[in-house]
Structure 1
């Protein structure tokens, strides 16, 4: 969509014509001390709570109270196979086949479990490529894997950097790195959507490039899952991990998800850490059998699942199942383009959007760089009723989430920013 206009009337008209506008009513919108709804643009850090979440969790609390251990088999949603209730919906969200997806553990734990299997260093091929400004947790995780295998964590880490004076990464620079170091690289591990700039990488292009040089390829999709169409299966990536508390609205610290491409589904020789939940479901409770791994992503599970967290995930995924990632992605592009339009209309030479202006190379996040600003600007926005995210040294991250943000949210946020900048 194009032909945006300034003014509140335009925003109201867009909301009136938005086929997804009613979903906002399904979420709790935080309010200020005067009971006015805040403008919540922080779904890239923590998604809002669906109103249905409490009922989903209460169902499990009631079954636990009434059934005790029998809830594993006799609860309304039996606990033993509970993770399976999430698989199909989650696979649609990330563009994968059900056999390729499992909900388990938390994000960085899953990244380590994936690297146990897909980071296979040798004396000559042991280096790892990540983006220079990767989310810190990713950097810490890969550095620790290098140390764990006996390598120097600085010498073994290759950073894909932006060019001088630029924020966005160029694929030709990654190609240059791999042309030079490809035979030394064991793993390419990139954040699918960069947390700082909001740049959505071409996963398929990166995967092809990595595989061409004999590297394993994985992605941290924490800022991509529920935000963009990841198409993980078609990307060809060996693995991916993500959290569910951002765009997937499952609550603080909730479980993460894993993708393992189906070409690895039946490979029992892959090194992995194991536990009883990755053992053949038919014989799991015989206790004394030798380990027999489940095919597919389920074969990377270790422990029986935490049901209360999964209930919150199920509440959100049922909404995603109803709407569909394609419709959400289209509204996301429209909302974000409108946001970009209004920011540019401010005519402020102090403001620069560092997120790509190509809608296919970003999600719903815009990273706004404000010249000579410090956190005081962000604090003033917060005081004005805008919940956004400050990242050092000078960036405000705002995410107009299509499930619960409106055009009027965007309009009012930009108006507040304009008044503060004056």
Structure 2
């Protein structure tokens, strides 16, 4: 399709958009009385309107049933988390028994490394990307030190090539092959938070498994954003937060994938608690742990239902729409945003450099050469909610559930005005 940078063209795209009606399912902040153009769903998704109903239901059951809500609520609390497994399995390309929801992302990655980072004097190294999200860096360093190794030696970072803003898959594969039988774990962000690059998760997983390593994925920026086939890719584990593209609310519960080959095992190293023991025996209070036959064996405590309620509400939307439809719009609206940026760049004395490669979801990271934080502040003051990253990058994520093509056009006009009027 040949794009046009006009209001009429953008509005026509919205008329053809089968997901356009879902904008009405979300609550929009306002700046100066007008709904914002929201580009930060890669940090915190907008609130689905139906979330309140799901939370209010639990509050009502708590008020009317108290402790009996565990078993007699409309959605009983003791197995509330189980309702999330089927829809999440469709989102990440897994089997329902491979999915559980618990804790938060960094906590879950630590717990998963208890099971899947089990180094010995020969095989102890971890491959990750350079400048991974800081929490991942801290986790890897602390895990390595906990096992008595030096992070400087045990953590192997794959670097970008000089002058490039993205990783080349062949460089990652080569590094895995180079580390070889010293490699215990590959743990990489499936979508890089900074440049928005989607890693070749299938090829990287295959390479890691080929040298005998475990392979896990931090999918914070991937779930609900890009196509995933975790089971078929043969990943050992993955975890993700739910508050970005999954729209479940700030700091909310984390999803976990554990490949079925690791399930129903008593010999796997794992930190255990009573919610991971067999459901039918949980309240017998036996002294010995009997693991659930699914990923719930990694659960330690009972589920935080007030956190899970908005997650379940959001997943209801994902069930209605389906990932394929979301990905189709993600590709088209991100391409249109890229086009608009190019057109504005021609009109102003500036230079935008998109550092996100074509292997992407719905994020464009843009170097604002010749601009600065003054432009970022102008955008924010004019109702365009974007994300600033040092040294001079804005991240734009047109989430397909609630962003419109008209907003991409309007953003371009505000951006143009901000550059021309910056003095």
Q: Normalising TM by the smaller chain, what interval?
A: over 0.9
In structure 2, the residue matched to 1:344 is: 342
CA contact (8 A) 1:192 1:220 kept: yes
What CA distance in whole angstroms lies between the structure 2 residues aligned with 1:153 and 1:294?
34
| Equivalent runs, 1:314-329 vs 2, <5 Å | 314-329=312-327
CA contact (8 A) 1:192 1:223 kept: yes
1:375 Cα deviation after fit: 2.3
* 1:221 counterpart = 2:222: no
1:328 Cα deviation after fit: 0.5
| Equivalent runs, 1:60-209 vs 2, <5 Å | 60-209=58-207
1:342 Cα deviation after fit: 1.1
1:397 Cα deviation after fit: 0.3
For structure 2, the 5+ residue unaligned runs are: none
What CA distance in whole angstroms lies between the structure 1 residues aligned with 2:371 and 2:214?
41
* 1:390 counterpart = 2:388: yes
CA contact (8 A) 1:277 1:303 kept: yes
What CA distance in whole angstroms lies between the structure 2 residues aligned with 1:253 and 1:206?
29
CA contact (8 A) 1:283 1:289 kept: no
1:354 Cα deviation after fit: 0.7
1:374 Cα deviation after fit: 3.0
What CA distance in whole angstroms lies between the structure 2 residues aligned with 1:19 and 1:171?
34
Kindly report the root-mean-square deviation, in angstroms, between the aligned alpha carbons of the 2 structures: 1.0
In structure 2, the residue matched to 1:39 is: 37
1:400 Cα deviation after fit: 0.4
What CA distance in whole angstroms lies between the structure 1 residues aligned with 2:395 and 2:375?
13
Instruction: Return the TM-score normalized by structure 1.
Output: 0.97
In structure 2, the residue matched to 1:26 is: 25
In structure 2, the residue matched to 1:16 is: 15
- Which SS does the other structure have where 1:159 is aligned? strand
For structure 1, the 5+ residue unaligned runs are: none
262-271 or 51-60: bigger deviation: 262-271
What CA distance in whole angstroms lies between the structure 2 residues aligned with 1:299 and 1:288?
16
- CA deviation string 1:46-77 (max 9, x = no partner): 00001111111000000000000000000010
1:288 Cα deviation after fit: 2.5
| Equivalent runs, 1:263-278 vs 2, <5 Å | 263-278=261-276
In structure 2, the residue matched to 1:233 is: 231
- Which SS does the other structure have where 1:82 is aligned? helix
What CA distance in whole angstroms lies between the structure 1 residues aligned with 2:291 and 2:360?
38
In structure 2, the residue matched to 1:307 is: 305
1:330 Cα deviation after fit: 0.4
What CA distance in whole angstroms lies between the structure 1 residues aligned with 2:280 and 2:63?
28
Q: Match for 2:47 among 27, 49, 52?
A: 49
* 1:6 counterpart = 2:9: no
- CA deviation string 1:301-352 (max 9, x = no partner): 0000111110010110001000001100100000001011111122355101
What CA distance in whole angstroms lies between the structure 1 residues aligned with 2:280 and 2:300?
16
1:356 Cα deviation after fit: 1.1
- Which SS does the other structure have where 1:241 is aligned? strand
- Which SS does the other structure have where 1:11 is aligned? helix
Instruction: Return the TM-score normalized by structure 2.
Output: 0.97
What CA distance in whole angstroms lies between the structure 2 residues aligned with 1:414 and 1:279?
54
1:235 Cα deviation after fit: 1.5
1:290 Cα deviation after fit: 1.2
| Equivalent runs, 1:249-264 vs 2, <5 Å | 249-264=247-262
Q: How many residues of Structure 1 are paired with residues of Structure 2 in the alignment?
A: 417
What CA distance in whole angstroms lies between the structure 1 residues aligned with 2:245 and 2:37?
16
What CA distance in whole angstroms lies between the structure 1 residues aligned with 2:244 and 2:265?
32
What CA distance in whole angstroms lies between the structure 1 residues aligned with 2:176 and 2:189?
17
- CA deviation string 1:142-167 (max 9, x = no partner): 11000110111222110011000001
- Which SS does the other structure have where 2:47 is aligned? coil
In structure 2, the residue matched to 1:421 is: 419
1:299 Cα deviation after fit: 0.8
CA contact (8 A) 2:127 2:176 kept: no
- Which SS does the other structure have where 1:187 is aligned? strand
